[in-house]
């Protein structure tokens, strides 16, 4: 073959290769953009702070806020670990058990109480009457499937972030959760106050963060001490 023709053919092949490569790159970027857009469209809007890209940053912030919460709670008691009937509820009275007849035994320590325990970084202190709406939302947005342990109408000690999530997504009806003030631990206020003061959100298993101050205000409206 004529060297000039061979050179021209090579240039054509190389240009074709670049066009195909560029096309595939654009296609990949397009798919990523569409996927990101779809994910964003599924996230709740009201009160949602953000999803952090760095899990290590979340862990560090959470550990700091947890230490501050434990310290704040310790100031209110001669011992930092009070469990069961010795705890107080949101009315400042003796804490009642969250688990009732027909319920699976709940609580971080599985005593039936939403007891305060310093090792519980999820703060399972919020006693609620469960709703189907919350069960579905918590599974979808927070990677928190409780359907195997509690059903609609049952009673469960949910995490502090879970109540904050319900307040965030539905500020008026709280996704039909019913907060039981007499069975919710008084230390819950310390948790929200500590996170609010430090400017930290409460993080769900999926990495979504929810505002502590809004959750605290909802608690105070429903349960005046």
Report domain extents, the chain: 1-42, 49-222
pLDDT tens, 107-145?
Answer: 999 999 999 998 999 999 999 999 999 999 999 999 999
- What is the predicted pLDDT for the residue at 167? 98
SS3 label, residue 205: coil
Between 123 and 51, whose confidence is greater? 123
Task: Find out whether 73 and 185 touch, Cβ atoms under 8 Å.
Answer: no
Task: Give me the chain's average pLDDT, please.
Answer: 76
More confidently predicted of 148 and 78: 148
Tell me: pLDDT of 67 over 60.
no
Please check whether residue 73 is in contact with residue 80, taking contact to mean a CB–CB distance below 8 angstroms. Answer: yes
Per DSSP, what are the bridge partners of residue 129?
155, 178
What does CATH list as the number for 49-222? 3.30.56.110
Residue 202 has a pLDDT of 97
Determine the Cα–Cα distance for residues 115 and 83; give it in Å rounded to an integer: 5
Give the HSE-up count for residue 66: Cα atoms under 13 Å, Cβ half-sphere.
Answer: 18
Looking at residue 1, what is its pLDDT? 52
Nearest to 93 by CA among 190, 184, 220, 160: 184
Q: Work out the burial of residue 213: count CB atoms within 10 Å of its CB; fewer than 13 is exposed, 13-18 middle, 19 or more buried.
A: middle
Q: What percent of the chain has pLDDT over 90?
A: 60
Q: What is residue 218's predicted lDDT score, i.e. its pLDDT?
A: 98
The number of C-alpha atoms within 13 Å of 133 and in the hemisphere containing its C-beta is 12
Residue pair 150/177 in contact by the 8 Å Cβ criterion: no
Q: 145-203: per-residue pLDDT in tens?
A: 999 999 999 999 999 999 999 999 999 999 999 999 999 999 999 999 999 999 999 99
* Gap between the Cα atoms of 185 and 193, Å rounded: 14
Do the strands 126-129 and 155-158 form a parallel or antiparallel pair, or are they unpaired? antiparallel
Contact indicator for 206, 143 with CB cutoff of 8 Å = yes
At residue 12, does pLDDT exceed 90?
Answer: no
- Report the run of H or E that residue 53 belongs to, with start and end: none
Residue 224: per-residue pLDDT: 86
* Region 86-115 average pLDDT: 95
pTM above 0.75, yes or no: no
**Most confident segment among 22-31, 56-65, 90-99:** 90-99
- What CA–CA distance (Å, rounded) separates 219 from 63? 24
């Amino acid at each position: 073959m004529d060297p000039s023709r061979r050179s021209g053919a090579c240039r054509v092949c190389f240009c074709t290769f670049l066009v195909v490569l560029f096309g595939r790159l654009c296609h990949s970027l397009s798919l990523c953009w569409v996927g990101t857009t779809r994910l964003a469209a599924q996230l709740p809007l009201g009160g949602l702070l953000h999803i952090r890209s760095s899990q290590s940053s979340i862990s560090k912030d959470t550990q700091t806020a947890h230490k501050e919460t434990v310290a704040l709670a310790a100031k209110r008691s001669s011992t930092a670990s009070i469990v069961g009937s010795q705890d107080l509820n949101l009315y400042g009275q003796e804490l009642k058990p969250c688990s009732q007849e027909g319920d699976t035994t709940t609580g971080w320590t599985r005593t039936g109480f939403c007891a305060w325990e310093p090792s519980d970084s999820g703060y399972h202190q919020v006693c609620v009457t469960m709703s189907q709406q919350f069960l579905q939302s918590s599974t979808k947005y927070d990677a928190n499937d409780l359907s195997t342990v509690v059903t609609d109408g049952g009673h469960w000690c949910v995490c502090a972030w879970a109540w904050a999530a319900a307040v965030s997504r539905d500020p008026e009806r709280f996704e039909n959760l019913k907060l039981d003030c007499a069975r919710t631990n008084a230390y819950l206020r310390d948790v929200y106050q500590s996170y609010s003061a430090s400017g930290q959100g409460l993080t769900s298993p999926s990495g979504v963060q929810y505002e502590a101050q809004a959750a605290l205000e909802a608690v105070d409206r429903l349960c005046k001490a």
